Chains A and B, each alone.
Chain A
Amino acid sequence: MIYAEILAGGKGTRFGSPDLPKQFQMLGSKPIIIHTIDQFLLNPRIEHLLVGVPKDWMSYTADLLRKYVPEHQRVEIIAGGETRNETIMNAIRHIEAKYGLTDDDAIVTHDAVRPFVTQRIINDNIDALKDHDAVDTAIPAYDTIIHVDADRIITDIPDRKYIQCGQTPQSFNIRKLVANYQALTVQEKEILTDACKICALKNDKVLVVAGEPFNIKITTVFDLKMANAILMERDNDK
């Protein structure tokens, strides 16, 4: 069974404003998170869709779903955790309690603030899960990546052909991910915020599928402005 979880656990501290958390801000005709949910609801291979949001925003999210998503009953809202990984673990606990778990069950996790994800990317993630326990999504690095030390002195400039920029979805065989996560110490759990990194460190082969340059993460006010600039209205005369 393929599950998906939209990760919206963050409260948007990076936005640096008293505005709504970024996932709830408007992009064109709808809040960002709704666009993302729409994209996953339209993929017939995903059987259950979960959304992990901060506990205090669960009712708010339910209201948004009722307002914007005709098929809102298909979306299960769960409380996010303290960290990104804990939000994923909360979803897995929910799945286990409600549906039970089998060795083949997998979860596609995706940032709520990447509303431009495509069906091709989602399908490539699901296809890759047939032969891999962990899947990441990335695009080639167009900029040169430089590694600096604490004094801002360059220590390395990695060869660009081996550098990719990570996006989401990130997808996992659920039981494998849980085993890897539980093997971490408390300190490791604090440092390792990326679930694919956990799998890679545990020597699981994480396959990378192609993302899209426009599958951007809306983190800053500038990003939101960019996203609104990218998004076009449907011209009914076209």
Chain B
Amino acid sequence: MINEVYRLFAPKQFRVDLVDEQPGPDDVIVRPTYLSVCAADKRYYLGDRDQQTLKRKLPMALIHEAVGKVLSDPMGQYKLGSDVVLLPNTPFVKDDVIHENYLPSSHFRSSGYDGFMQSFVVMRRDCVIPFAKADPQTMVMAELMSVGHQALWHFDRVAHQRRQRIGIWGSGNVGFIVALNLRKMLPDSQLVLFSVDAKQMEYFSFVDEHYLVSEIPDGLRVDHAFECVGGSAAGMVINQIIDHINPMGTINLMGVSGDAVGINTRMVLEKGLSLLGTSRSTHEDFAAVIDLIDGNEDVQQYLSTIINGVVDVKDIKDIYTAFDAALAHPFKTVMRWEI
């Protein structure tokens, strides 16, 4: 089977590579139907990584958020034509302690390994999960949701049980899915959102309060917090959280920062805080959020509100259109993949 693999080979430059695929008897062949652009993809597209990283990782097909249809399954486990979510993490080692998303031996798509911008994707059968009800265009948010789910799993394991007020810093995609996961997991907790962007905060109809970071009341305190900002503002945000969190709270760090960040460790120690790092997600996270999305129309509706645009992709020119649209919009850009 000859596959078309649409690879970024230099910043803002895609090409099609024709690849001689040789699927194994155990592999499933999936045609992607919807792909969603992530911030990490935008960084590669812009060349916003250091030169050594770009040299090591490119050329590479981008995108790690995708759903598709099963075209071939030699073992007959998946019905042909059925909708599946594609998992970007391919684990190779089973470890009873360390999760597959933290194992260096795992291959993560669109981060050193080809992502889903391909005519077909040859998938290991344990890396696809079927879904039945939700619109595929919404279900493409499953990967993003699974990252929030992983963060909450970590939080749930570590954070003490006083969970009356939980702060979320950042009103981008990660902030949104963390808040949405929290709303479902802790329906009685008060969710408080903090951001620099008043307009974006308006999308978060399911949180209880929101504040501009420049206007946080002095006495405002949260029991636990999620940092969903990253980038150059990460340090400022983490230190603001430290100021506004109650003693023995946990801070989930979810924003990616390219630089080392200075943290007010004196107050971390004084308050006895726990800082948790989370990244990516596991098969279990995916299974849980696919159930959550498939079974909850409100979750589907909320996720649809952060899809800024759907771009039909039939050739390479459309890929540029989609990425340029993604750069211009704060939330999600989805590609209807018809290439």
Contacts and interface: CB of A to CB of B under 8 A. Distances in A.
Contacts of B314: 120
B22 interface: yes
Contact of B17 (A41, A123, A210, A232): A232
A233 B60 CA distance: 14
28 contacts: A28-B20, A35-B1, A35-B2, A38-B1, A38-B2, A39-B2, A42-B31, A42-B71, A42-B120, A44-B71, A70-B25, A71-B72, A118-B119, A118-B339, A119-B119, A119-B120, A120-B314, A120-B315, A123-B338, A231-B18, A231-B20, A232-B20, A233-B19, A233-B20, A234-B21, A234-B122, A237-B113, A238-B60
A29 interface: yes
Interface string A217-234: 000000000000011111
Contacts of A120: 119, 314-315, 338-339
Ranked nearest first, the 5 interchain pairs of A and B with the lowest CB-CB distance are: A28-B20, A38-B1, A42-B71, A232-B19, A35-B2
Nearest to B113: A238
B251 interface: no
Contacts of B120: 42, 119
Interface of A: 27-30, 35, 38-39, 41-42, 44, 70-71, 115-116, 118-120, 123, 210, 214, 230-234, 237-238
Query: Range of interface residues on chain B?
Result: 20 to 34
B231 interface: no
A214 B3 CA distance: 12
A60 B142 CA distance: 47
A30 B20 CA distance: 9
A70 B27 CA distance: 12
Nearest to A28: B20
Nearest to A213: B16
Contacts of A123: 338
B114 interface: yes
B20 A29 contact: yes
B165 to A, nearest CB: 46
Contacts of A41: 72
A29 B22 contact: yes
Interface string B218-262: 000000000000000000000000000000000000000000000
B294 interface: no
B122 to A, nearest CB: 8
Interface in B63-102: 69, 71-72, 74, 80-81
Interface string B1-29: 11110000000000011111110010001
B114 A44 contact: no
B119 to A, nearest CB: 6
